[in-house]
Amino acid sequence: MPSSPRPLEVVAVIPAKDEEARIGITIAALEQIGSVGPVIVVDDGSTDQTAAVAEWTGGVEVVRHNRNRGKAAAMTTGAARAAELAPGVPVLFVDADLESSAGNLGPVVEPVLIGEADMTIAVLPPQRGPGGGFGIVVRTARDGIRRLTGWTPTQPLSGQRCLSREALDAALPLASGWGVEVGLTVDVLRAGGRVLEVPCELHHRVTGRDLRSQAHRARQLADVTRALVDRSGAKEKVFARAGMAMRGARGLAGRGARGAARRVTTAVSSASRRLSREGEDQRP
């Protein structure tokens, strides 16, 4: 990555949807970190008072999407506004549901500020609440990143990341949907960026294992697969299968069909395995 004068602080970008109960605490915790400067909340079509709570917190810039456009779109909007507020300054992406644990993000910021890394990724401890998935999405993301870059991440889906402005700009446009973190990792590494994982005491709301949660994971798996496919050189051979799985996933939550959820997960997993096999020779 090209060198530039080292900034003293970062801009925090918080993509948020329906987080009125948590966003205020998350912002307050972030503002206790001396290396965090401006805070931008991107309200991604919330149906509650997320934006209003963020504004009431004070000292925060709130950007609103009139409709839900997804996490990647919210991050893109936040990154663009950060470039306007503080050109060239690193960006810290923060999930809205971290609450008071967001105050522990200092170690994620520091390596970027001192020039030791172009992107840092927070590695979270075991979470306090019950729930969590079965590891399919994580394994797909980890294996795909390894095959495309040669680097194996510990937590490939961690959303708590700090990037130098140069690294972030090199990774634009961001991968869509829930594939954004996987896309960032692959793109930063391929651009020659240094990526560092940083253990960090962070806690967030854990997704359960009910039907709605499984439908969310199916969509997540489809988006992760799409991000990997788009970067593999094997796109034409696996895109159709991943695309069908994505379309099926969108209708699951309202249908109550566990068998359909399993079929979607199987279809996307199969596409991902094919990606892994055919992407092996694409690794730079």
Domain boundaries, the chain: 10-124+160-199, 211-282
CB 185 within 8 A of CB 196: no
Q: Topology of domain 10-124+160-199, per CATH? A: Spore Coat Polysaccharide Biosynthesis Protein SpsA; Chain A (3.90.550)
Alpha-carbon distance 227 to 182, whole Å? 7
CB 261 within 8 A of CB 211: yes
- pTM of structure: 0.80
Alpha-carbon distance 243 to 253, whole Å? 18
Cβ-Cβ contacts under 8 Å for 236 (sequence gap 6 or more): none
Q: What is the pLDDT of residue 161?
A: 98
Q: What is the pLDDT of residue 8?
A: 82
* Each residue's pLDDT expressed in tens, for the chain with a length of 284 residues: 555 566 789 999 999 999 999 999 999 999 999 999 999 999 999 999 999 999 998 789 999 999 999 999 999 999 999 999 999 999 999 999 999 999 999 999 999 999 999 999 999 888 666 555 568 899 999 999 999 999 999 999 999 999 999 999 999 999 999 999 999 999 999 999 999 999 999 987 655 555 665 565 788 899 999 999 999 975 444 444 444 444 444 444 444 434 444 444 444 455 555 555 544 444 44
| Residue 106: CA count within 13 A, CB half-sphere | 9
Q: Which two tokens stand for residue 246?
A: 């994505």
Q: What is the pLDDT of residue 204?
A: 73
Q: Find, among 40, 33, 8, the residue nearest to 106 by Cα.
A: 33
Q: Which two tokens stand for residue 232?
A: 């593999």
Alpha-carbon distance 253 to 96, whole Å? 23
Alpha-carbon distance 207 to 34, whole Å? 31
| Residue 6: CA count within 13 A, CB half-sphere | 12
Alpha-carbon distance 49 to 64, whole Å? 12
How many residues can be counted in the chain? 284
Cβ-Cβ contacts under 8 Å for 129 (sequence gap 6 or more): 205, 206
H runs (alpha helix) in 150-210: 165-171, 180-190
How many Å is the Cα radius of gyration of the chain? Answer: 18
Alpha-carbon distance 167 to 194, whole Å? 9
